Structure 1
């Protein structure tokens, strides 16, 4: 029985490692293709970008209240807000003893921030320019930092919540996360500070970071993230449930982070 469980656990970890690596590789390939099209000024893509930005700018210029609302949404979903949320999550995980999971969250934020600026400086794309802009933003355009940060943050938070809720909660979490990412990306185009391809590039870059960081930690410490997931589930379980039903086993390993010991204390054995 022990050998069977161990073999199943290893196979599951390999599947997850393959999945995370595939996400990173596919997103990197698509990002690279998009970057080539942008730097070579591929005409169909440029026409698409110009068409969207031009139409939205004219509407934003003529509807001040609507534009102010879009600017507010963009500010709320900014990179500082998103990374602050990851910082809070990492701090909480560290305090309850889920140190590897806390490091995973922190690494997503830090690698995302560094990768964003490395890619921006490498491509050095100019932002849309208007004689009567409705908003301003500094630095190169490609990829969109707002789009990248929001995608990383929402994916990480959904991942942390996934095994704490049932099916309806998961659907709701994914719906809210998806709507948030799409809305923030759209506000950057609507305000005329990013091209649509910048936003798409931000989402692809987020996929690279999410997959690569998770795969790297799993290679470094196989099963450690899964053990921390179970530790979080066990330590945040209602106290009354721990006393009344002490024999209840904590949740099994997560599909996101792997399999390991069933009780958090087994992680150190």
Structure 2
């Protein structure tokens, strides 16, 4: 008699769900701890916030040209820019038929925007004040909207590019995204419009949104995100390949008609690579 293992195996979708659920839960716990320390005025955190921002403010006041460059970078990577990029991506995905993936991108944008203001109004933390400020910003401080929006946008865009590029492209995308998120967060502290803990809170809030929205979509539309990612890969890769190889093609012989191209077996399949 053979004994069979009755315990179900963990599928890739289950691992995907667990990873994003863990991301959302861990970020939520860390955010709650950080917010509690801010609200209670924990002295080590207060001293760290004040020490960092005072030192950076003195440098910013003494170097106006550098400060103007940082201000331009911060404005360029602001919340409007990041949400516009995600809005354009969501519209493109919707038009090519990747409706669930497009809805996921739109949900990340809208939940991020709404969650940012809900948290800001809930805590109502004041921004840093200086007698000679180098920049101005309105509204409550915690969490940083720039930090939160840039983290969500960069993570989503890297996720969309992931199946379309190779190893080198993925390394480049992740490096660019990480530097962008870090740079935008640092610029808000350098300009004196956010405490360092506001920026950290923005990154943690972004992790909460990214994880929770993904889990919700996976539970309501099982497997649809993976199918749409493969559809994007199938629809996009042939076009990219045609653009890359077209200059290297030899001139067509005009003596006779060119042979018909071989049919693509994936073209008749609604899900492209899902065969």
Match of 1:66 in 2: 66
Aligned match of 1:102: 102
In structure 2, the partner of 1:258 is none
**Structure 2 contact 230–273 (Cα < 8 Å) conserved:** no
Q: Which residue of 1 aligns with 2:223?
A: 223
Cα offsets for 1:231-261 (capped at 9, x unmatched): 11111232587x54724x69xxxxxxxxxxx
- Residue 100 of structure 1 deviates from its aligned partner by 0.5
Residues 230 and 263, structure 1, Cα contact 8 Å, conserved in 2: no
2-side partners of 1:185 and 1:237: how far apart? 34
Matched, 1:264 2:257: no
After superposition, the Cα gap between the structure-2 partners of 1:245 and 1:116, relative to the gap in structure 1 and judged at 3 Å, is same
Partner of 2:138: 138
Offset at residue 265 of structure 1 (A): 6.4
Which residue in 1 is equivalent to 2:33?
33
Q: 1:118-141, CA deviations, whole angstroms, 9 ceiling, x for partnerless residues?
A: 000111100000011000000000
What CA deviation, in whole Å up to 9, does each residue of 1:73-100 have, x standing for no partner?
0000100000000000001101101000
1:101/1:228 contact within 8 Å kept? yes
2:264 equivalent in structure 1: 246
Runs of 4+ in 1 over 4 A off after TM superposition: none
5 Å-filtered alignment, 1:108-257, equals 108-238=108-238, 243-244=261-262, 246-247=264-265
Tell me, yes or no, if the aligned pair for 2:82 and 2:149 is still in contact at 8 Å.
yes
User: Given the superposition, is the C-alpha separation of residues 194 and 208 from structure 1 closer, same or farther in structure 2, using an over 3 Å criterion?
Assistant: same
SS in 2 for 1:97: coil
TM-score, length-scaled by structure 2: 0.86
Structure 2: gaps of 5 or more residues? 1-7, 243-260
| Structure 1 stretches lacking a partner, 5+ long | 1-6, 251-261
- Which one has a larger percent helix, Structure 1 or Structure 2? 1
- Match status 1:14 vs 2:21: no
- After superposition, the CA RMSD in angstroms is 2.0
CA–CA distance in structure 1, aligned partners of residues 113 and 237 of structure 2 = 33
Shift of 1:181: 0.2
Equivalence for 1:256: none
Report the alpha carbon displacement of residue 11 of structure 1 after superposing the two structures with TM: 1.0
Matched position secondary structure for 1:193: coil
- Kindly provide the CA deviation profile for residues 182-214 of structure 1, in whole angstroms up to 9, marking residues without a partner as x: 000000000000000000000000000000000
Q: Does 1:87 align with 2:87?
A: yes
CA 1:245–1:204 in structure 2 vs 1: closer, same or farther (change >3 Å)?
farther
**1:112 and 1:152 in contact (8 A); partners too:** yes
